[in-house]
Amino acid sequence: MAYQSELNTSRRYLMGPGPSDVHPRVLKAMATPLIGHLDPQFVDIMDDIKQMVQLTFQTNNHLAFVVSAPGSAGMETCLVNLLEPGDEALICIHGVFGGRMADIAERCGARVTRVEAPWGEPIDAQQVKAALEHCRPKVLAIVHAETSTGVLQPLEEIGRLAHEAGALFLVDAVTSYCGTAVKVDEWGIDAIYSGAQKCLSAPPGLSPVSFSDKAVEALERRNTKVQSWFLDLSLVRSYWAGAKRTYHHTAPVSAMFALREAYRLVLEEGLENRFARHRRNHELLKRELEALGVEFIVHPDYRLPMLNAVRIPDGVDDAVVRRRLLDEYNIEIGGGLGQFAGKAWRIGLMGESSTPNHVNMLVSALKAIL
């Protein structure tokens, strides 16, 4: 594809760990002529988005907005605002993304205690309880849907333990958000971030975030400046929520148009209907794959409906199969990450990609290839 020729990408079916397929209404919204990022009409759009962030996180938090960068920047926003040098943090690690949180927390100068689970299993609340006997963390962080392993982490008990220990409860909901229940207020989550390109089915590059009043107080009590200027919530807040919206950075206007439409689709469908759809298509995929002899890695009690981690059958060449799916069928699935590299496929049924047609297409392509 030389630069002289017009862009000409294939129509792919996105069934990996994100991005997922995007509804035509979202693409159409993204092509809306630009307006300025301080235009009163854009300020109204930001208010709409903020309200839809609250509805989808099921929270009344005042601080709810969207970071102008991908999910990892949402992760970094939560950690750099809540941690100061010398603070303690307890980070639960059951895959790649927990490890990334620990790395960022250490870069903030925090003393990190790790609680780990084997890949493919959730963190056991008893381990967290035991670890809390030896540390006094300001933040206890955990990934809700570990995209690298396919595990859905139960949160309620660990959230209770965090609060009993006086810690703020921080949750990564990048993959779970808009695909399975994420009840921020009911579960006592103090800080949460997600991403646009997974079950929300918007283009990548944005990260919905929310902080409880308690987390905002912790931010206000800081002794040191947040190490990142761009992600410092005390500054970003006045752009998203100040009485007078002041310039902070130029918002990605077109991406926000797209996000607004993606949220409208989520709320038109209804959260509960959307969660049920994700479960149904996961069940369909499970039946079809098991009939082909392909096994799931995660115990049924902890399986993610939107990210299906399966064992690559013996004697099958991982790279060849994924390449053929892409070249011959226009289907993208994910390979294994970290410890699962070469051992697992990660099949995403996220948002617009969670349909019976997607499942049927993939299964018949796999049948032909295997």
Ligand X SMILES: *Cc1c(COP(=O)(O)O)cnc(C)c1O
Binding site for ligand X (CB under 6 A): 18, 70-72, 75, 97, 143, 145, 147, 172, 174-175, 195, 204
- Between 54 and 175, CB nearer to ligand X: 175
Which candidate, 41, 42, 62, 40, places its Cα nearest to that of 51? 62
Instruction: Indicate the residue among 121 and 288 with the shorter CB distance to ligand X.
Output: 121
Position with the least CB separation from ligand X: 71
CB 20 within 8 Å of CB 353: yes
Closest to ligand X by CB, 18 or 179:
18
Instruction: For the CB of residue 8, give the shortest distance to ligand X in the complex, in Å.
Output: 25
Cα distance between residue 102 and residue 113, in whole Å? 9
Least Cβ distance, residue 146 to ligand X (angstroms): 6
Min dist CB 332 to ligand X, Å, is: 15
Q: State the minimum distance, in angstroms, from the CB of residue 69 to ligand X.
A: 8
Residue 147 Cβ vs ligand X, minimum distance, rounded to whole Å:
3
Query: Quick one: 256 or 365, whose CB is closer to ligand X?
Result: 256
Alpha-carbon span 320 to 104, nearest angstrom: 35
CA–CA separation, 17 vs 332, rounded Å?
Answer: 9
DSSP per-residue letters across 71-90:
HHHHHHHHHHHH--TT-EEE
Where would I find the H helices in the chain? Answer: 24-30, 40-57, 71-82, 96-107, 125-131, 156-164, 213-220, 233-240, 253-269, 271-291, 318-329, 356-369
Q: How far is the CB of 213 from ligand X (least distance, A)?
A: 25
Looking at the Cβ atoms of 204 and 252, the one nearer to ligand X is 204
Rounded CA gap, 106 and 86, in Å?
10
Cβ proximity to ligand X, 104 vs 310, nearer residue: 104
